[in-house]
Amino acid sequence: MRLLLAEDDSVLGDALSKSLRQSGYAVDWARTGQEADLALTDQVYSLAILDLGLPKMDGFEVLRRLRQRRSKLPVIILTAREALEDRVKGLDLGADDYLAKPFDLPELEARLRALIRRGSEVATPEITVGSMSFNPVDRIVRIDGTPMELSSRELGVLELLMLRAGQAVSKEALVEHLCSWDDEMGDNAIEVYVHRLRKKLEAAGIQIRTVRGLGYMLDKVPV
Ligand code: CA
């Protein structure tokens, strides 16, 4: 799951992107409003966290332009200002939620999950492949009801394969799904994660097939 974080405060931005990455999200961190606007135009995200006081273009303008493009992307605005009118203006412009600084990380993450859940309510119920199930909201993969132990990168790979079960997923799509701007990841790394996942999935009778020239596909092992 890929998030855009627009925040010009380097200490806060660094802390936020680190902790969100640890929670398994791919985070692109934009330092200016202009950068955020470009990213939101170019890339597909699951959610955006938008500071209001940003250089070059303020958060209100970024949000206004996003909604003008008819994007329904869930947006949380961050504001240092206690001013009620800022919150009201943000919500009027189409923000889904707001947090006043300073805030606690667990609270931000809880609100992220709530917004992602709301956004995916209609779209994606639990996905199953054989004995394996994946819940896109809490992002837990279970085999016969037991949660699997996965690193955040393994989870990212398996998540995309589950979301597109029955279709081939290219290595490029996997890299895109896992990585933020400042990460470097090659095809080799994807092969390593796939290798580890194959071992973990073997006993459950689930395979990750290599589809020549196309990528990987998740499937039940034929009996
Ligand atoms: Ca700021």
Average pLDDT by stretches of 10, the chain with 223 residues: 93 92 90 96 90 93 93 88 77 89 88 80 72 84 92 90 90 86 79 95 92 92 75
Q: Distance, CA 60 to ligand 1 centroid (Å)? A: 12
Domain locations along the chain:
2-120, 127-220
Q: Distance, CA 108 to ligand 1 centroid (Å)? A: 17
Q: Distance, CA 124 to ligand 1 centroid (Å)? A: 34
CB 161 within 8 A of CB 169: yes
pLDDT at 72: 86
pLDDT at 123: 53
CATH superfamily entry for domain 2-120: Response regulator (3.40.50.2300)
The DSSP result for 65-125, as a single string, is HHHHTT----EEEEES---HHHHHHHHHTT-SEEEESS--HHHHHHHHHHHHHHHHTTT--
Sheet holding 132-135, edge to edge: 127-129, 132-135, 140-143, 146-147
Q: Distance, CA 26 to ligand 1 centroid (Å)? A: 21
Helix, strand, coil % (nearest 5) of the chain?
Answer: 40, 20, 35
pLDDT at 82: 66
**CATH 3.40.50.620 is the classification of domain 127-220:** no
Residue with tokens 């956004």: 119
Q: Distance, CA 18 to ligand 1 centroid (Å)? A: 18
Residues 13, 120: Cα–Cα separation, whole Å: 26
Q: Is the pTM of this model over 0.75?
A: no
Q: Distance, CA 166 to ligand 1 centroid (Å)? A: 44
pLDDT at 89: 87
CB 87 within 8 A of CB 51: no
pLDDT at 124: 57
CB 172 within 8 A of CB 189: no
